[in-house]
Amino acid sequence: MSKFNRKYLYIFCMVLITFLVVGCTGKEVKETSQKKDMKLITDEEKPYIGFLIDTLKEERWYKDKALFEEQVKSLGGEVKTLAANGLDDVQIKQAELLIGEGVDVLVVVPHDATISAKIVEMAHEAGIKVISYDRLIKDADVDYYISFDNEKVGELQASEILKKTSSGNFAYIGGSESDNNAILFRQGAMKVLQPQIDSGKIKLVYDEYTEEWKPDVAKSNMKNALSKNGNKIDAVIAANDGTAGGVIESLASVGLAGKVPVSGQDAELEGVRRIVKGVQTMTVYKSINQLATESAELAVKVAKSEEVKTEKTINNGKSDIPSIFLEPIAITQDNIRDTIIKDGYLTEEEIYK
């Protein structure tokens, strides 16, 4: 009988014993150790990392997945990635599955900042640590958080737009409210805009989050903003390139594309091309390579039960989470080559062709 079949026979027996024992001694203890002891990978000595991501809808998450997996493997680990397509119950089921497979650590990009607290609870019951990746899980004892300085992202967006126009009617087109990053991006932007608003130079005439970061929702929100203000909109802070694309389509429909400054984020190919064309003012480049590399290193260390000290923490409503924050960079027409192209994130050909 092959090694693999022997393993499944073993699982079957263990589950059977579990059920028998549960009747006698009570659920928690038994289950925890059994899941933790067995890893559903060929070489059980290897660190086994579970990577739970919200969606693959936006371009960057493909890069996060590929780069993170590559890094974990280069560090001698095994990794399994599952995407939840924006569905909370699916993400929780996927966490259950990976916990059942005996992962050593879970790395999570939560769809919903609070609902995902359940994942931390389940993982800790099974003795598995959780790293919050890019987006923070709120109200749970998350073990580590690694991301960019997300308030700074908002500050960069507002500052670049203010360089183009510092007075008039402004619209804020935010991200998804279930994503804690969207809250932080908005906080950072408002920190920069507030003095101008208080002085009366700027009027914030529209301010909405965008359901699920959907570009077409951003497009219809922008249409509302234009119709409510007689097309008198002087600047738009859009939270990422996806929403910026929707906003610019609406501006184009009233002949304002390229005349109204618009921010973005993520250095998506189409976002950077719009900057080259002059219809989008800026985007925020976040080195996904750096995020994935440092997260893989952290995950493998945690999987080996190594203690990792961090300089920073962030309070997620439950406790101060040991955190690592990376630097975001504002991108305009002037520095595309020195940043995105130099890093190999996008190529000269694909941007300028």
Q: Which residues bind ligand GAL (CB under 6 A)?
A: 58, 60, 134-135, 175, 179, 181, 213, 240, 265-266
Count of CA atoms in the C-beta half-sphere (13 A) of 242:
18
Q: For ligand GAL, give the closer residue by CB, 34 or 240.
A: 240
Residue 242 CB, shortest distance to ligand GAL, in Å, is 7
Q: Which residue is nearest to ligand GAL (CB)?
A: 181
Residue 17 CB, shortest distance to ligand GAL, in Å, is 43
| Token digits of residue 86 | 């924006």
Q: For ligand GAL, give the closer residue by CB, 240 or 250.
A: 240
d(Cα 154, Cα 159) in Å, to the nearest integer?
Answer: 9
Q: For ligand GAL, give the closer residue by CB, 48 or 144.
A: 144
Residue 98 CB, shortest distance to ligand GAL, in Å, is 21
* Block residue for tokens 């700027």: 202
Residue 153 CB, shortest distance to ligand GAL, in Å, is 8
Residue 281 CB, shortest distance to ligand GAL, in Å, is 18
d(Cα 246, Cα 173) in Å, to the nearest integer?
Answer: 10
Burial grade of 26 (CB within 10 A; 0-12, 13-18, 19 or more) = exposed
Instruction: Say if CB 213 and CB 56 are below 8 A apart.
Output: no
Q: For ligand GAL, give the closer residue by CB, 99 or 236.
A: 236
Residue 135 CB, shortest distance to ligand GAL, in Å, is 5
Q: For ligand GAL, give the closer residue by CB, 64 or 78.
A: 64
If we measure between CA atoms, which residue out of 138, 147, 92, 93 comes closest to residue 114? 138
d(Cα 205, Cα 231) in Å, to the nearest integer?
Answer: 11
Distant-in-sequence, close-in-space partners of 48: CB < 8 Å, separation ≥ 6 = 39, 41, 77, 78, 79, 80, 101, 102, 103, 104, 303
Q: For ligand GAL, give the closer residue by CB, 209 or 213.
A: 213
